[in-house]
Structure 1
Amino acid sequence: MASRFPEGKQVQLRPRKGHDMKWSCDKHGEPIKFYCKKHKIPICHPCATKDHSQKPCKLDDIEDVIFERRRQLDEKRPKILELQKQMEALNTKIKTTSTSGSAHLQTINNNIQASYYDKIKSVEEKENRIIRVINEEADEEIRLVNEKREKRIKDCNIEREKERSIIKDKEAKLLSDAKKISEVASKKIKDLTNENQHIINTIKNIESTMKRINQHDETLVNEAHQVLASIDENLNFNVHQDVSDCLDRIQIEVERVKFVEGEVGGEYYGRIDGYIGKWELVKSIHITSVNYPFVRGLVSENDICVQDVDNNGMYVTNINTQHTEKVIDEGLLITSCAPIDNNVIVCGKWRDDCTGDRLDGFITLYDRQWKEIIDINIPRNEYGFYCSVYVDIDSDRMIITGQSYQSNIYVINPANDKVVNTITMQDKEVFGEIQALSSGDIVVNTGYGGCTVISRSGEEKAVIHGNELDAPEYSVDKLTDTLYITHRVRNTYSVDQVSRDGIIQARRIVEYVKSDRTNFMGPCLVTPSGNLVGCDGDKLHLYKKTFTL
């Protein structure tokens, strides 16, 4: 083992190449001359001659080893210094990203509060107007009307508080959703901050160790290989880019978050959306009272219309109470349904007795007790005796409807049953469901090739291609205009999320296995609150989206 010459035996040696010639062999007292690569120790000339002269020992000049070790450390130093600068800069970016995300989410909170403040104010103004009218009426008959006035005022106040409570509950839920998103983003940024600080501390420790071992040749030779191994083991030189990419992804996902609001079926809805998220199964609802269930649409946030293809009976399943009720006895096949407002539902139908130049009994308005209000007819384009008519409601509460295997789409005012506009598609025919977007455009199922987005003038704006082996089903989110497309691959239904421009945002966001009870594939519906409801032919599956990073 190498050491310094003992006292009294110092030999004056002329250093060369910067080598400390006072470094000597413990065994022979001779200057260290070589480095044995096999045993990884420095040795003197007698050691080399006696103990390390035979193969497989390979000797290097100790001065070359020293300079090589220094060169290796010096090569690492610029990378370490550069990484240190990058990690320090990354701290600034982390703080900027955190500030930007917090500001954006605060804007979401402000938008929610501003929107619901206006709605609460509107409710209060409406009830105040009623109270003023009541007071004017009460002045005409002092005693009787005063009693009546007080009672009605009390009822109005109760109703106002009820509506105000509902609005505040919805506001609280949205603010809670926004807070959860903020917490997810904050936790991710905190984790990155801790990771970044750990690397900075590791770099400082390595730099300190390098400075220490570089002060003496003996320490350098004995410990450099360990330091080099530690650098390679503990430092990921790509970490700067990895963390930076993660921060960019966080910022993009947070900025996708938005507060969306609108009216569906005469009711106001607001929610946090815009992000892709992760869909989680909330619950599954058995619909055993229906022999061969086929989902036809939804008429409220919780009410799903399901037809029994075996006898054409119509049922409504409430996904909140999980209760299924028969609303229409055996009769005509329903193709689609949609709420016009809180009181009226429109249904499209299939029939096999088409005659004449009008389609009678293919569009029917029902009240909420499923009593017929009126039938609406549209022009008939001859296509045999079998015909299907599909319906939906646009943002102006107009009925959008079309006949299968025809190119015309009709816009009907339900107040007077009049056709207010006829839209003709070019080189396309109605194959299935017709759904209105909040933008005013219309999505039409045009067959195995997919669905087509058209303007109110009939112009083709986008084509969303489907599975050519099995016609997919479509459902539109009325608040975001996002499309959810259901495919069947053998015995599994899968749902893709697509923008109204035809851009696929996410594939297979939910999947469920087909039941043996039916071979009919229905659409995966999207509720106004943004939940998905799919039917496997036996159960309804309710999915809720959560924000993830």
Structure 2
Amino acid sequence: MASRFPEGNLVQLKPRKGHDMTWSCDKHGEPIAFYCKEHGLPVCDRCAIKNHCQKPCELDDIEDVIFERRRKLDEKRPKIQELQKQIKALDSKIKTASASGDTHLQIIKNSIQGAYNDKMKSVEEKGNRMVRMINEEADEEIRLANEKREKRIKDCNTEREKERKNIKDKETKLLSDTKTISEIVSKKIKDLSNKNQHLINTITNVQSTISRINQHEESLVNEAPQVLASIDENISIHKDVSDCLDRIQSEVERVTFVEWEVGGEYYGKIDGYIGQWESFRSINIPSFVKYPLVRGLIGDDEICVQDGYNKDMYVTNISADQHAEKVMDGGRSTWIMSCSSVDRNIIVCGKGRKDYTGGRLDTHITLYDRQWKMIRDISIPRNGSDSSVYADVDRDGMILAAQYDQSNIYIINPAYDTINNTITMQGKKVRGEVQALSSGDVVVKTGDNEFTVISRSGEEKAFIHCHEWVVSECCVDKQTDTLYIVHWDGARTYAVDQMSRDGIIQAKKIMEYPRSDRSHWLSPCLITSSGNLVGCDGDTLFLHKKAFVL
């Protein structure tokens, strides 16, 4: 390999072609003489002889090579100079392009950042709007929830105050009834006490008179008959006072406080005594109700009256003295047979239908809410052609239902519309309303002037019948099991008899009222939970309350 000779050890070579040769071989230290074109190496003589003397090596004189290559380089100098200028111009252009590119890309970058800053701002604003909307919706929901809560609390408090007032009013009435009885008893006892004191004074005088007349024969003869008569009279008065006192004690002992609860509603009344029924109010039935028929009592003060002509249903609030308000349009093919309350929210009606052909009575027992909107129908088996159904509710809230002219009475759970029990009468059929007693027994109209009390097993407990009842209807006081029989006595007068559940007559004709020309059918009397008795002559509802009488 060729290298420069070390300084101070130069070998003087013979100049050739005007060039000084100072280049020597690294291996042999001899001057470079040739250039091997095959290997691209400068070599000395020894290298040429030893390693590059045969093909494919081709040797050129080194000076020729140097001269030729210098010539070529010299020829390139103008191009190099031009290239330098171009490079400098390109460098300037690069710098300009770089600056321009940087400026342009910065603009792009700024545009990107601006665009995405706008998008980010839009996202932030959208997010903030969503958060505000969520907060506003949540605040509104909270406000509505608070309003709903406040309303429910207010309604609860209002209902509580209403129930408190209702209970207080009932308590006040019962205490007033008790006070009235107490005052009647006290007045009667005071009268008896005065009579007895008068007797004591009279007997004392009689004893003095006897002592005096015994001393004189003339006085004895003349006054003894009057004295004897006075003694007999006072003995009679004493017996009357004693009997009256026993009757007072007996009547007072019969007074009872009856309380019960139905459908969450509490009731109570003073009862047990026969007393005397006194009229205290009458409510006219409007003339647009052409043929009024009383169909039942819902609650303590609302009486259902149906127009027998067009089958429209009306309700009259007897405590508010309101006239009939229509609650349901009738129809020529469907009518109400009976109405009763399941609880404070639900009413059950037994119905009749003309030309009904179904295999079951699917639309003959209907539940309504207090606005008389239909809730649903309850189905019972059908037997026979007449599809009229009577319905009532016992103290446990179970529905009693029976088809006219059949022997079966169904006990239905209104919560599930299921028949829990079937009562089958032996040898008798339903000819009118079925009504529950507090004992669980059932009173069934089984003829125009007869009623039968049966147990839940179908056993006959009592048969209630009277030849004086030409046509009759029965109303049951479910709290005392007292029966009130309204009947047409053959003239144009309706009367009400009071019976025990065993069929014993407790009082005859406790109410009487003439039959109206509007009346084509006999309407039953009704007993309210507060103990008032309501009769209907076809024109007017007559309200009676029972007074304690000694």
Paired residue for 1:278? 276
Instruction: Classify the secondary structure of the residue corresponding to 2:243.
Output: helix
Displacement of 1:162 after TM fit? 3.9
Find the aligned partners of 2:292 and 2:150 in 1 and give their Cα distance.
51
Find the aligned partners of 2:146 and 2:316 in 1 and give their Cα distance.
45
Report if aligned partners of 2:199, 2:238 keep a CA contact under 8 Å in 1: no
Instruction: Classify the secondary structure of the residue corresponding to 1:323.
Output: coil
For residues 82-231 of structure 1, the aligned pairs below 5 Å read: 156-157=156-157, 159-216=159-216, 220-222=217-219, 224-231=221-228
Find the aligned partners of 1:147 and 1:369 in 2 and give their Cα distance.
26
1:494-540 CA-to-partner distances (Å, cap 9, x unmatched) read 10111111111111111111111122111110011110010001000
Relative to structure 1, the CA distance from residue 442 to residue 203 in structure 2 (aligned partners, 3 Å threshold; closer, same or farther) is same
TM-score for both structures, normalised by structure 1:
0.70
Paired residue for 1:239? 237
Find the aligned partners of 2:343 and 2:448 in 1 and give their Cα distance.
33
Report if aligned partners of 1:264, 1:478 keep a CA contact under 8 Å in 2: no
Give every structure 1 segment of 4 or more consecutive aligned residues whose post-TM-superposition deviation is greater than 4 Å. Answer: 141-159
Paired residue for 2:368? 366
Paired residue for 1:498? 499
Paired residue for 2:261? 263
For residues 148-547 of structure 1, the aligned pairs below 5 Å read: 156-157=156-157, 159-216=159-216, 220-222=217-219, 224-233=221-230, 235-236=232-233, 237-264=235-262, 266-288=264-286, 289-320=288-319, 321-331=321-331, 332-382=334-384, 384=385, 386-467=386-467, 470-489=470-489, 490-547=491-548
Relative to structure 1, the CA distance from residue 314 to residue 265 in structure 2 (aligned partners, 3 Å threshold; closer, same or farther) is farther
Structure 1, unaligned stretches of length 5 or more?
1-140
Find the aligned partners of 1:144 and 1:362 in 2 and give their Cα distance.
43
1:314-349 CA-to-partner distances (Å, cap 9, x unmatched) read 111111223211111122221111011111111111
Displacement of 1:165 after TM fit? 3.1
Report if aligned partners of 1:450, 1:467 keep a CA contact under 8 Å in 2: no
- How many residues are paired up? 404
1:98-127 CA-to-partner distances (Å, cap 9, x unmatched) read xxxxxxxxxxxxxxxxxxxxxxxxxxxxxx
Counterpart AA for 1:226: E
1:181-238 CA-to-partner distances (Å, cap 9, x unmatched) read 111112111111111111221121122122123223xxx3156423522541574133
1:54-86 CA-to-partner distances (Å, cap 9, x unmatched) read xxxxxxxxxxxxxxxxxxxxxxxxxxxxxxxxx
Relative to structure 1, the CA distance from residue 399 to residue 545 in structure 2 (aligned partners, 3 Å threshold; closer, same or farther) is same
1:352-371 CA-to-partner distances (Å, cap 9, x unmatched) read 22324211211111111111
Report if aligned partners of 1:524, 1:532 keep a CA contact under 8 Å in 2: yes
Structure 2, unaligned stretches of length 5 or more?
1-140
Report if aligned partners of 1:199, 1:235 keep a CA contact under 8 Å in 2: no
Counterpart AA for 1:183: E
Find the aligned partners of 1:209 and 1:514 in 2 and give their Cα distance.
62
Find the aligned partners of 1:150 and 1:409 in 2 and give their Cα distance.
47
For residues 60-79 of structure 1, the aligned pairs below 5 Å read: none
Find the aligned partners of 2:478 and 2:169 in 1 and give their Cα distance.
22
Relative to structure 1, the CA distance from residue 164 to residue 501 in structure 2 (aligned partners, 3 Å threshold; closer, same or farther) is same
Counterpart AA for 2:520: N
Find the aligned partners of 1:399 and 1:256 in 2 and give their Cα distance.
32
Report if aligned partners of 1:448, 1:466 keep a CA contact under 8 Å in 2: no
Instruction: Classify the secondary structure of the residue corresponding to 1:537.
Output: coil
Displacement of 1:461 after TM fit? 0.6
Find the aligned partners of 1:147 and 1:407 in 2 and give their Cα distance.
55
1:369-399 CA-to-partner distances (Å, cap 9, x unmatched) read 11111111210112x3x33110000111111
Identity within the alignment, %:
64
Find the aligned partners of 1:142 and 1:313 in 2 and give their Cα distance.
46
Relative to structure 1, the CA distance from residue 485 to residue 154 in structure 2 (aligned partners, 3 Å threshold; closer, same or farther) is closer
Counterpart AA for 2:291: Y
Relative to structure 1, the CA distance from residue 146 to residue 338 in structure 2 (aligned partners, 3 Å threshold; closer, same or farther) is closer
Find the aligned partners of 2:453 and 2:148 in 1 and give their Cα distance.
55
Find the aligned partners of 2:541 and 2:414 in 1 and give their Cα distance.
31
Counterpart AA for 1:502: G
Relative to structure 1, the CA distance from residue 213 to residue 467 in structure 2 (aligned partners, 3 Å threshold; closer, same or farther) is closer
Find the aligned partners of 2:350 and 2:149 in 1 and give their Cα distance.
45
1:24-54 CA-to-partner distances (Å, cap 9, x unmatched) read xxxxxxxxxxxxxxxxxxxxxxxxxxxxxxx
Displacement of 1:413 after TM fit? 1.2
Find the aligned partners of 2:308 and 2:148 in 1 and give their Cα distance.
53
Find the aligned partners of 2:143 and 2:361 in 1 and give their Cα distance.
58
Q: Comparing 346-355 with 268-277, which one deviates more in the overlay?
A: 346-355
Displacement of 1:241 after TM fit? 2.5
Instruction: Please say which structure displays the higher CA radius of gyration.
Output: 2
Report if aligned partners of 1:265, 1:338 keep a CA contact under 8 Å in 2: no
Find the aligned partners of 1:147 and 1:361 in 2 and give their Cα distance.
41
Relative to structure 1, the CA distance from residue 418 to residue 543 in structure 2 (aligned partners, 3 Å threshold; closer, same or farther) is same
Instruction: Classify the secondary structure of the residue corresponding to 2:315.
Output: strand
Relative to structure 1, the CA distance from residue 458 to residue 201 in structure 2 (aligned partners, 3 Å threshold; closer, same or farther) is same
